[in-house]
Amino acid sequence: MTTNIKNKELIISDSFGMWITGLWGNIFFQNPDFTFGEHKQAFLSIIKELFDDGRVSFVKPGADVYYNEKTNPNPKYTIQQPESHWGVSSDEIVDFLLAEWPEDASHRDDPQLNGYFYKVPAIIWKNNDGEWFGS
């Protein structure tokens, strides 16, 4: 995976609490010379590192955590509960993200990526106090 990512900690801090698209966009913002392939590799590399360090997790597919005033006012879980987290390894997360990646996507703003980013499980971020945040 890509190791020469400029301003990686700034990318991470600027992405904290955002959807996974925030991380995707911040990588490009800090590394505008990356090819699309390098951008993708940096994205997966940072996710793996953050997951291995316990700084991010993903909501378990199908977990009832999403509040909606009309349709789901009382979700079964919150993101603070470990049962709502996808209990797999970072390698399995990266393999999943790669398997779902749109084969024909060819640039960072490819419309196919919009569907991809909504399809993958939500990323959640842990702060220094151990609380989880997501958007």
Q: Which domains does the chain have, with CATH numbers?
A: 8-133 (1.10.3510.10)
Report the pLDDT averaged over residues 106-123: 94
pTM, two decimal places: 0.92
Encoded tokens for 130: 């151990």
How confident is the model over 38-48, as pLDDT tens digits?
Answer: 999 999 999 99
How far apart (Å, rounded) are the C-alpha atoms in residues 28 and 14? Answer: 12
Per the rule left: phi > 0, alpha: psi between -120 and 50, beta: everything else, 115 is alpha
Q: Residue 85 pairs with which residues in a beta bridge?
A: 59
What residues pair up with 133 in beta bridges, in sequence order? 125
Please give the backbone phi and psi of residue 83, each rounded to the nearest 5 degrees, phi first. -65, -20
Q: How far does the chain reach from its first CA to its final CA, in angstroms? A: 27
pLDDT digits (tens, 9 = 90+) for 55-88: 999 999 999 999 999 999 999 999 999 999 999 9
The whole-number pLDDT of residue 135 equals 81
Rg of the chain taking only CA atoms, in angstroms: 15
CA distance to 54, 69, 73, per residue, from 76 (Å)? 24, 14, 10
CA distance 130 to 125: 9
Please name which of 14, 25, 15, 16 lies closest in space to residue 108, comparing C-alpha atoms: 25
For residues 84-95, average pLDDT? 97
